[in-house]
Amino acid sequence: MPFMPGDKSMLEGYIRKARPFADMFSVKGKTAIVTGGSSGLGFDITLRLLQGGANVMIASFSEDERDAAMPLLAEAGFTDTVDFTLTDVTKEEEVARLVDVTAEKFGSVDILVTCAAVWNYAKIYDLPDKDLKKVFAVNVYGAFYALKYVSRYMKEHEIEGKIVLISSDCPFVPYPVFGGYPHYASSKAAVMGLTVEAAKELKRYGIQVNSVAPGGMVTSGSASNLASDELTEEQQDEFYDELMVWQLDGQMPVDQIGIMAYTLCTPVSDGITGEVVIVDGGAHHNIVKYQPAIEQYPPEE
């Protein structure tokens, strides 16, 4: 097919409209809220957003985490661009206040990343009601409240913002091998559904909503994750025996997930909304470096 004169003008248009490459990876001048941003993955994402030039408001219910995280960020050179608001994300009024405080402090809210989450181990038939309610209160209601008030602010102020909800690959990957995450997996599946629905509702306002679904990674939270304290000692021991059976292809570096979440906050992701990006090294497709032999468990009679 011959090259037409209009083809050249189209190519010239590509050049004219191309933004500087460095700007595509920048969040300079933006303001972000990161729930659960004082530890683990949330802290890593907070750091990356600060490095990218954003102002960041960390939201957490833990004063101890605040006292550990804020000095570290100050030592890294971030003082005026980061602040902390003590927030219980299960309480709607506190999340509404968080958005108001952030806008008052930094002048806007352009980015939301929801990292606040809790979990523990128990089988469906042993799961205490209080653990079910707590996991859903933090992981689902907390994400919903943050999404509700940040999107409302963005809509009212005509901000074409970026929202990233942290989910998990556990709805796709049954780990531990013999179960134990029914409440957590269900809560993270709910976050994925919320991602798609919110993206539908908010696209007309230029607000993009995506989710990052991490695989297994080492954080202070995962390292201290235990069976429900309401299980009997015998039930807990049985569960820990089962935990020794599951095999993984190593743990994901936290920053690999943090970088993906950061990327979804930048112009690089302008063409993406309503997506769940799974960052687990291929584990949900059973793509592994090795698969050690696993003896039958429980032992055959």
Residues with Cβ < 8 Å from 6, sequence gap 6 or more? none
36-68 pLDDT tens trace: 999 999 999 999 999 999 999 999 999 999 999
The whole-number pLDDT of residue 252 equals 76
**Residue 224 pLDDT level (bands cut at 50, 70, 90):** low
Q: What is the pTM of this model?
A: 0.88
Residue 295 has pLDDT above 70, yes or no: no
**Exactly one of 167, 168, 211, 269 is catalytic; which is it?**
167
Distance CA 172, CA 283 (A): 9
Instruction: Identify the CA nearest to 209 among candidates 146, 162, 279.
Output: 162
Distance CA 202, CA 157 (A): 13
Provide the residue type at 154 as one letter.
Answer: M
What value does the mean pLDDT take over residues 221-237? 67
**Exactly one of 30, 123, 162, 188 is catalytic; which is it?**
188
- Residues 49 and 265: beta-carbon distance below 8 Å: yes
Taking the C-alpha atoms of 155, 157, 158 and 161 in order, what is their torsion angle to the nearest 10 degrees? -70
- Residues 294 and 247: beta-carbon distance below 8 Å: yes
Can you give the residue ranges of every domain in the chain? 25-279
DSSP state of 72: H
- Residues 247 and 293: beta-carbon distance below 8 Å: no
* DSSP H or E run through 225: none
What value does the mean pLDDT take over residues 80-97? 98
Q: Would residue 162 show up in a list of annotated catalytic residues for this protein?
A: no
- Residues 131 and 228: beta-carbon distance below 8 Å: yes
**How far is Cα of residue 259 from the mean position of the Cα atoms in its chain?**
11
The whole-number pLDDT of residue 220 equals 62
Q: What is the 3-state secondary structure (H, E, C) of 122-158?
A: CCHHHCCHHHHHHHHHHHHHHHHHHHHHHHHHHHHCC
Q: Would residue 149 show up in a list of annotated catalytic residues for this protein?
A: no
The whole-number pLDDT of residue 126 equals 86
- Percent residues over pLDDT 70 in the chain: 82
DSSP state of 52: T
Q: Does domain 25-279 have CATH number 3.40.50.720?
A: yes
- Residues 99 and 34: beta-carbon distance below 8 Å: no
- Residues 214 and 41: beta-carbon distance below 8 Å: yes
Residue 219 has pLDDT above 80, yes or no: no
**Exactly one of 181, 187, 211, 228 is catalytic; which is it?**
181
What value does the mean pLDDT take over residues 109-120? 94
Q: Does residue 298 have a cis peptide bond before it, meaning omega lies within 30 degrees of 0? A: yes
150-167 pLDDT tens trace: 999 999 999 999 999 999
- Reading the block at residue 48, the tokens are 């990356």
**Residue 8 pLDDT level (bands cut at 50, 70, 90):** confident
Q: Would residue 62 show up in a list of annotated catalytic residues for this protein?
A: no
Residues with Cβ < 8 Å from 207, sequence gap 6 or more? 151, 154, 155, 159, 160, 161, 162, 163
